[in-house]
């Protein structure tokens, strides 16, 4: 019997995502001017207010208030009627020096023996049901909101959109775990006020179904387009009016959207958030490393679906262990434990090795903080950063290095694929 599985995403204007983007923009600026910076930055946003807190060890000084305002304005909170805008909101910084008790467990005389910045377990996951090797429902949820943001910025077809929005997609799967059709799409989008509520609801639903959905569908491969049928159930702004939104409607905090950031509820999650953390924090770097491993395993044809877990003790370089689960989809005559032993030989999972392999001490993180850290396109971009004394630095950096399929041939050779 077929079954249903649901994943969701939230837009760049969602309060929690504003917080993630501010925290990661601060990380990027520290790393741009001092690649050895150690930073843990948490952000809270609410009506007319931004609060920054956390720990820093760095040789550079930043105007974190300006960084926060620039991010908020870029997202689209530029009007006072939102009760939260980048130019007028208060920004309070409570950032302070990193604890030496933590730092002594990380820094080593030999860089390759750098200890993990914390204990914990991290998971990477990949599945071959989409070109990006992430679950279909999550992939579609991200695409819907990214395109909705494009429409908002174009401001010609849908003029009333505001930055805050959420999407949720339910996929019907066969007994063989193959997507059969899209069952339900839920979209809630903040909007300008309308004179008549009934007219407002009708127009928003019509625009979403007749403008947004076709634009997203056109971006998809033919096999996925066929999953869009006339039987899809749509819930568009199901509570009705959604004028009050963003940080005025709901307080936002860094790190509250860990399932949106990863695999939409599939696979597993170790519980640690990513945004606001420099790569010495294995919550972030090891999660990227295990995603890199899982994606290359699936792309190599080793299995249709893979979960990889790694775990660490704070201050210890070598992980406690590596776990691999192929959900019975393995294409080789080996147990999952035997696969894990081979994979462990191919990938050095010490924190310093991860940082070097994936180029994680570059300012690459603000782009991760909305629409998912996984399933993105690896690309080189130029970024310019400014310090309070007006000094600037321009860097060419490679984004989403953990999404590269650069170990496929190595895995094929090791497993005889």
Predicted pLDDT of residue 115: 79
Domain membership of residue 332 (yes or no) is yes
Angle between helices 351-358 and 282-299 (to 10 degrees): 60
Q: Helices in 116-173 by DSSP H: which ranges?
A: 136-154
Angle between helices 15-33 and 64-75 (to 10 degrees): 130
Among residues 315, 348, 379, 285, which one has the least CA distance to residue 31? 285
Among residues 98, 403, 405, 29, which one has the least CA distance to residue 281? 98
Q: Has residue 198 got a pLDDT over 90?
A: no
224-242 exposure pattern, b = at least 16 Cβ within 10 A, e = fewer: beebbeeebeeebbeeeeb
Q: Has residue 122 got a pLDDT over 80?
A: yes
- 156 among annotated binding-site residues: no
* CATH at 393: 3.30.300.10
- Sheet order of strands, 49-57 included: 90-97, 49-57, 38-46, 252-253
Domain membership of residue 26 (yes or no) is no
Per residue in 244-266, pLDDT tens? 999 999 999 999 999 999 999 99
Domain membership of residue 20 (yes or no) is no
Task: Give yes or no: residues 239 and 159 share one domain.
Answer: yes
- 162 among annotated binding-site residues: no
10-19 exposure pattern, b = at least 16 Cβ within 10 A, e = fewer: bbbbbbbbbb
Contact of 86 with 72, CB cutoff 8 Å: yes
| Strand bridging mode 305-312 / 321-325 | antiparallel
Predicted pLDDT of residue 200: 84
Domain membership of residue 85 (yes or no) is no
Predicted pLDDT of residue 107: 60
What average pLDDT does the chain have?
Answer: 94
- 166 among annotated binding-site residues: yes
- 206 among annotated binding-site residues: no
Task: Give yes or no: residues 124 and 148 share one domain.
Answer: no
Task: Give yes or no: residues 285 and 378 share one domain.
Answer: yes
Per residue in 27-83, pLDDT tens? 999 999 999 999 999 999 999 999 999 999 999 999 999 999 999 999 999 999 999
Task: Give yes or no: residues 308 and 189 share one domain.
Answer: no
- 164 among annotated binding-site residues: yes
Task: Give yes or no: residues 378 and 291 share one domain.
Answer: yes
Question: Sign of the CA dihedral 377, 252, 286, 268?
Answer: negative
Task: Give yes or no: residues 124 and 149 share one domain.
Answer: no
Task: Give yes or no: residues 284 and 411 share one domain.
Answer: yes
Predicted pLDDT of residue 144: 98
Domain membership of residue 101 (yes or no) is no
Domain membership of residue 16 (yes or no) is no
Geometric angle at alpha carbon 21, from 16 and 27, rounded to 5°: 130
- 361 among annotated binding-site residues: no
Task: Give yes or no: residues 148 and 213 share one domain.
Answer: yes
Cβ partners under 8 Å of residue 312, min gap 6: 116, 118, 119, 120, 121, 122, 282, 286, 319, 320, 351
Task: Give yes or no: residues 238 and 351 share one domain.
Answer: no
Provide the pLDDT confidence category of residue 403 given band limits of 50, 70 and 90: very high
Structural domain boundaries enclosing 171: 3-9+136-244
- 207 among annotated binding-site residues: no
- Give kind and range of the element (H or E) at residue 41: strand 38-46
Question: Sign of the CA dihedral 269, 271, 272, 273?
Answer: positive
Is the pTM higher than 0.75? The answer reads yes
- 273 among annotated binding-site residues: yes
Q: For the chain, what is the domain count?
A: 2
Task: Give yes or no: residues 334 and 361 share one domain.
Answer: yes
Predicted pLDDT of residue 106: 63
| E strand spans, 146-238 | 161-173, 179-191, 233-236
- 14 among annotated binding-site residues: yes
For residue 325, which phi and psi values (nearest 5 degrees)?
-130, 125
Task: Give yes or no: residues 194 and 215 share one domain.
Answer: yes
- 242 among annotated binding-site residues: yes
Provide the pLDDT confidence category of residue 157 given band limits of 50, 70 and 90: confident
Predicted pLDDT of residue 14: 98
Task: Give yes or no: residues 297 and 381 share one domain.
Answer: yes
Among residues 372, 373, 370, 365, which one has the least CA distance to residue 164? 370
- 146 among annotated binding-site residues: no
Domain membership of residue 98 (yes or no) is no
- 257 among annotated binding-site residues: yes
End-of-domain residue from the set 244, 262, 294: 244
Provide the pLDDT confidence category of residue 197 given band limits of 50, 70 and 90: confident
- 256 among annotated binding-site residues: yes
Q: Residues in the chain, how many? A: 417
Of 197-206, 293-302, 305-314, the range with the lowest mean pLDDT is 197-206
- 81 among annotated binding-site residues: no
The span from the CA of 315 to the CA of 115, in Å, is: 4
């Amino acid at each position: 019997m077929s079954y249903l599985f649901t994943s969701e995403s939230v837009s760049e204007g969602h309060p929690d995502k504003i917080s993630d983007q501010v925290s990661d923009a601060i990380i990027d600026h520290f790393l741009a001017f001092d690649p050895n910076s150690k930073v843990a930055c948490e952000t809270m946003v609410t009506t007319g207010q931004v609060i920054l807190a956390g720990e820093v060890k760095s040789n550079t000084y930043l105007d974190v208030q300006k960084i926060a305002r620039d991010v908020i304005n870029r997202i689209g909170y530029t009007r006072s009627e939102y009760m939260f805008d980048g130019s007028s909101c208060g920004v309070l910084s409570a950032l302070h020096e990193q604890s030496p008790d933590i730092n002594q467990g990380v820094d080593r005389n030999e860089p390759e023996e750098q200890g993990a910045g914390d204990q914990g377990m991290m998971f990477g996951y990949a599945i071959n049901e989409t070109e990006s090797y992430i679950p279909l429902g999550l992939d579609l949820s991200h695409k819907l909101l990214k395109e909705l943001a494009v429409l908002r910025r174009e401001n010609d077809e849908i003029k009333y959109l505001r930055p805050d929005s959420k999407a949720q997609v339910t996929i019907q799967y066969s007994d063989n775990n193959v997507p059969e059709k899209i069952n339900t799409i839920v979209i809630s989008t903040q909007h300008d006020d309308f004179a008549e509520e009934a007219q407002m609801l009708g127009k928003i639903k019509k625009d979403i179904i007749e403008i947004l959905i076709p634009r997203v569908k056109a971006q998809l491969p033919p096999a996925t387009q066929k999953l869009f049928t006339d039987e899809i159930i749509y819930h568009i702004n199901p509570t009705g009016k959604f004028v009050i939104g963003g940080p005025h409607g709901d307080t936002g905090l860094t790190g509250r959207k860990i399932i949106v950031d990863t695999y939409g509820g599939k696979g597993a999650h170790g519980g640690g958030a990513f945004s606001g953390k420099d790569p010495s924090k294995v919550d972030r770097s090891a999660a990227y490393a295990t995603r890199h491993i899982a994606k290359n395993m699936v792309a190599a044809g080793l299995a249709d679906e893979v979960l990889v877990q790694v775990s660490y003790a704070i201050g210890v370089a070598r992980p406690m262990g590596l776990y691999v689960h192929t959900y019975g989809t393995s294409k080789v005559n080996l147990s999952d434990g035997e696969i894990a032993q081979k994979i462990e030989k191919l990938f050095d999972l010490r924190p310093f090795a991860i940082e070097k392999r994936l180029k994680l001490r570059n300012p690459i993180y603000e782009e991760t903080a909305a629409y998912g850290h996984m399933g993105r396109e690896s690309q080189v971009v130029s970024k310019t950063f400014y310090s309070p004394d007006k000094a600037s630095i321009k860097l060419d950096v490679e984004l989403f290095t953990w999404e590269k399929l650069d170990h496929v041939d190595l895995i094929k050779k090791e497993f005889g694929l």
